[in-house]
Structure 1
Amino acid sequence: MQAAEATKLQQQWKAKGSPPCEHPRLAKEYYLSSQTGDKVCMTCGEDFSPAELKQMGR
C-alpha cells in the first residue's frame, strides 16, 4: 500500500471517530516504488515498524 493511501485511510478512520481496530490485515508500505520496511493496517491505515510488529507478535 502506498503511504499516501495509508494517510487517506487514517483520515477516514478518524472521521468515523477512531473506533478500536484489531488490525486484521497488514500490507507492506511503499513510498513511491520503494518499500519503507513498515506495514500498514488495511482497515484503519495505522502503520507499524518492524520493532512494533515484533512486540505485537506478528
Structure 2
Amino acid sequence: MQAAEAAKLQQQWKAKGSPLCEHPELEREYHLSMNTGDKVCTTCGEDFSRAEWKQMGK
C-alpha cells in the first residue's frame, strides 16, 4: 500500500471517531516504489514498524 493511501485511510478512520481496530490484515508500505519496511493496516491505515508487526505475529 502506498503511504499516501494509508494517510487517506487514517483520515477516514478518524472521521469515523477512531473506533477500536483489531488490525486484521497488514500490507507492506511503499513510498513510490520503495519499500519503507513498515506495514499498514488495511482497515484503519495505522502503520507499524518492523519490530511492532513482528511482535504482533503478522
TM-score, with length taken from structure 1:
0.94
| 1:16 equivalent in alignment to 2:23 | no
CA-based RMSD: 0.8
Distance across 1 between alignment mates of 2:6 and 2:31: 10
Gaps of 5+ in 1: none
The alignment of Structure 1 onto Structure 2 pairs a total of residues equal to 58
Mapped pair 1:3 → 2:6: no
Amino acid aligned to 2:4? A
TM-score scaled by length of structure 2: 0.94
Q: 2:51 corresponds to which residue?
A: 51
Runs of 4+ in structure 1 over 4 Å off: none
SS in 1 for 2:18: coil
Q: Secondary structure of 1:55's partner?
A: helix
C-alpha separation between the residues in 2 aligned to 1:47 and 1:11? 13
